[in-house]
Structure 1
Amino acid sequence: MTVQSNETGVDLNNTDSLKEVNKKNSVNYNEPADFEKAISATKWGKFNILLYIIAIPAGWSSIFETTTMSYVFPAAQCDLDLTLENKGFLNSVTYLGMISSAFIWGFLCDTLGRKKLLCIGLLLDSFFVLMTGLSQNYTTVVIGKFLGGFIINGPFAALTCYVSEFHCAHHRARVQMVLGIIFSCGTVVLPLLAWGILTLGFDFTLGESFKIHSWNIYLFICAVPALISGVCFMFMPETPKFLMTTGNNQKALEIFQKVYSLNTGKPMDTYPVLGKITSG
């Protein structure tokens, strides 16, 4: 049997020798890799930081959707003729919407994908918050808050999946901590916005009956985080994990390469996983 070798004297027919040489030369052996190996090879860097930044308004939108009415009541009580029963129902109607839609979001997240659900859900939520902000009566506010609660459950669940699936097991445990900090900051920012806006006493009349008050402006501003994050997610990639579960491994590999390039500053073709990626 003929034994091939290069000028270094390495047996080219010996797979173990080739692996050892490739390892020494920082060239990864061309073999299949599962999701954990592939995502670990992308490292942690600029892309992950960008992901956290986009997650801030996305996380805040969930807090803003469920909590705003508590601050609106004192300012809008006279404008909307709110009774004690009205206030109690408005506080709960958002959660009623969330409960009524809870069972469908897991299915949609695994069917449509995390990115699409985040984009559509956040943009719809911003629309319903704006609708509530334009309300001139109690009924419209109830409808807007119910629909907002119905929609926001989806992006809230998809956000955790989306951020987690761009991290390897070593960093994944920290994702929940980061998201927890984001949500906590949202609960601090919201009353600060209320203190800065609702105290202005702004009143503006369009035509004979359409009026804009400080609480309307407050709700308009509360729609901004969902709008910003919904637009930002349009330019973000789908998670490789979802693509791999749907059999689109080649597209997943391209995303791994782009994330690796952004994190390390190296060309995409230097991504160390040279072989196929598998969902196993």
Structure 2
Amino acid sequence: MGGETPKYTVEEAIAAMGFGKFQILVLAYAGMGWISEAMEMMLLSFVGPALQSAWDLSSNEESLITSVVFAGMLVGAYTWGIVSDKHGRRKGFIITATVTGGAGFLSALAPNYTSLIILRCLVGLGLGGGPVLSSWFLEFIPTPSRGTWMVIFSAFWTLGTILEASLAWVVMPRLGWRWLLALSSLPSSLLLIFYRVTPESPRYLCLMGRTTEAIDVLEKIARMNGTELPCGTLVSDHQTELQEKSIDPSEDANLLSPRTENATRKGLDSNIGGISSLLVLLSPKLVRSTLLLWVVFFGNAFSYYGLVLLTSELNNGNSKCMPTKVQSQESQDVNYKNVFIASFAEFPGLLIAAATVDRLGRKLSMSAMFFLCCFCLLPLVFHQPEGLTTGLLFGARICITATFTIVYIYAPEIYPTSVRTTGVGIASSVGRIGGILCPLVAVGLVHGCHQTASIVLFEIVIFFSGICVVLFPFETKGRELSDTVSSPKHIAESA
């Protein structure tokens, strides 16, 4: 026993090698996916009003263009999370990039409203794979700097929103909405071009018993970062857990054998997926975190996309309850300008998230921003001058950007590798329900001259989301990622 070979986990290997050139390349690839999703979501602020005028759509038909994207994302986030946990992160995001890019480009050629609705729903289905990329990137980051680098990753979303707002400002008046849809699908195509050089997550490989492949990826990281792997044998949390539970020393040897390792992989393949994964997420050790996370994702999506739509609606003359035709004729330029300006609110939000997430922790940072967002929106219960309205929405968007950024850091941290993308995917799906409903509020109520009711509803949703953050069972700042629900460190943190 004294001469036993040293062992190390993927977590320890990543920590030893640090953040270097390899992670920068992974960040660039995952960030391109985040840019793609942001652009596809942001263009909804421009395409809806343009199509309402071009195709003489009703307010409900305009809202449906946005809602079907979220409906597709609801299904996609759940589906791609399961695919990613069962068949690998790479398979998850290559399928989503193909669906998003293909359907996005074809929507620019849609001959009628019905075909456009179907294609935008498919775009949403592909966009549902966004959590796969964020979880994939997360699994390459050393624990001490995880919060900061995940905020930097989130900056690609902001870059996408500003890029889309700029593109719309230039393209829409000159070339129209079809060109905007076509050009917005290009970032997804870049994911397909560079897919062959992307590595699989070593955490996933190790959990599935594919330790040789995991070591190959870790050795590649070490070479690119100019560092070395720890001495010893690579093991997963699952193997460590089995060894600690073992009483018979002879069983220890068997647990480390390739045959048992392969059986572990097969057992995980058969048990983790679909309904089984959902049951794990709702197990006693995770149920509180899961249910609270669902509420927070719902509140975040409802509020974020609602604020994006409100920026154009309240500054389109709608806050004065003008007739729709007058609104569309008089204020298209103002619409582009104000949405463009409001997009820059995300940069301060990211800076706030970066400054607080590793200092104050995830819970305190999120809850403070939710409550501050309520304060910013409160004056909009009554009609305000256009300049003040833009300023208040700017402040609210700073806050909601910070909470959205931090929850996408917190969510994958509370789940083990075995159900990480499924857990984040399902939470994201619940958030998409908020996205489906928010156009009915942001567009429907404001068009119907019910701005007060709309803002009050946003206030309730945002405040309740902040309360749920306070009730989260534990803080994840500085906490190592776990591989299984029952791993010792996961139990310790969940207690």
TM over 0.5: yes
AA in 2 matched with 1:189: L
Q: Where do 1:16-35 residues align within 5 Å?
A: 31-35=6-10
> One-letter code of the match for 2:102?
F
Q: CA deviation at 1:182?
A: 1.5
Query: Which residue identity lines up with residue 168 of structure 2 in the other structure?
Result: A
Structure 1 residue identity aligned to 2:236: S
1:166 equivalent among 136, 140, 143: 140
Pairing 1:219–2:178 present? no
CA contact (8 A) 1:118 1:230 kept: no
Partner of 2:97: 122
Structure 1 stretches lacking a partner, 5+ long: 1-13, 16-28, 203-213
2:119 counterpart residue number: 144
SS across alignment from 2:182: helix
The answer to whether the 8 A contact 1:39-1:168 is kept is yes
SS at match of 2:194: helix
Alignment pair present for 1:228 and 2:227:
no
Alignment length, in residue pairs? Answer: 236
> Secondary structure of 2:233's partner?
coil
Aligned to 2:61: 86
Tell me, yes or no, if structure 1 residue 253 matches structure 2 residue 215.
Answer: yes
Aligned residues of 2:98 and 2:189 also touching (Cα < 8 A): yes
Residue 79 of structure 1 deviates from its aligned partner by 3.9
Aligned to 1:276: 233
Residue type matched to 1:275 in 2? Answer: G
Once the two structures are TM-superposed, the CA of residue 171 in structure 1 deviates from its matched residue by 2.1
SS at match of 1:41: helix
| 2:431 aligned residue | none
Superposition pairs of residues 103-114 of structure 1, within 5 angstroms = 103-114=78-89
Once residues 153 and 101 of structure 1 are traced to their aligned partners in structure 2, the CA distance between those partners, rounded to angstroms, is 4
Do 1:90 and 1:142's aligned partners in 2 also have CA atoms closer than 8 Å? yes
Return the letter of the residue paired with 2:112.
Answer: N
Offset at residue 160 of structure 1 (A) = 1.2
Q: Which residue of 224, 241, 252 corresponds with 2:203?
A: 241
Deviation at 1:164, TM superposition (A): 0.6
Q: Output the CA distance in 2 between the equivalents of 1:166 and 1:272.
A: 14
* CA distance in structure 1 between the aligned counterparts of 2:28 and 2:6, rounded to whole angstroms: 35
Instruction: Quote the Cα distance in structure 2 between the aligned partners of 1:31 and 1:230.
Output: 40
> How much has 1:33 moved relative to structure 2?
0.8
**2: distance between equivalents of 1:107 and 1:272?**
31
Q: What is the CA-CA distance between 1:237 and the residue it aligns to? A: 0.6
Higher mean alpha-carbon deviation, 108-117 vs 235-244, is at 108-117
Match of 1:5 in 2: none
Once residues 101 and 236 of structure 1 are traced to their aligned partners in structure 2, the CA distance between those partners, rounded to angstroms, is: 22
**CA distance, structure 1, for counterparts of residue 145 and residue 195 of structure 2:** 22
Name the structure with the higher helix share: 2
Larger RCO (CA under 8 A, 6+ residues apart): 1
- Distance in 2 (CA, whole Å) between partners of 1:83 and 1:76 is 10
Matched residues in 2 for 1:53 and 1:126: separation?
18
Distance 1:217 1:94 in 2: 19
How far residue 231 of structure 1 moved from its aligned partner, in angstroms, is 2.7
Alignment correspondent of 1:36: 11
Alignment pair present for 1:197 and 2:187:
no
SS in 1 for 2:133: helix
CA gap of 1:105–1:120, structure 2 versus 1, over 3 A, is closer
Q: Give the secondary-structure state (helix, strand or coil) at the position aligned to 2:17.
A: coil
| Contact 1:128–1:145, Cα closer than 8 Å, also in 2 | yes
CA contact (8 A) 1:39 1:166 kept: yes
Larger radius of gyration: 1
Tell me, yes or no, if structure 1 residue 64 matches structure 2 residue 39.
yes
Distance 1:120 1:231, change over 3 A: farther
- Say which is worse superposed, 71-80 or 225-234, in terms of deviation: 71-80
Any idea what the Cα deviations from partners look like across 1:228-249, whole Å, max 9, x if unmatched?
1233233111010000010011
1:45, distance to aligned residue in structure 2 (A): 1.2
Q: Separation in 1 of the partners of 2:109 and 2:178?
A: 6
Shift of 1:30: 6.2
Structure 1 letter corresponding to 2:149: V
What is the TM-score with the length of structure 1 in the denominator? 0.78
Q: Partners of 1:167 and 1:69 in 2: how far apart?
A: 33
Aligned-partner Cα distance in 1 for 2:60–2:173:
25
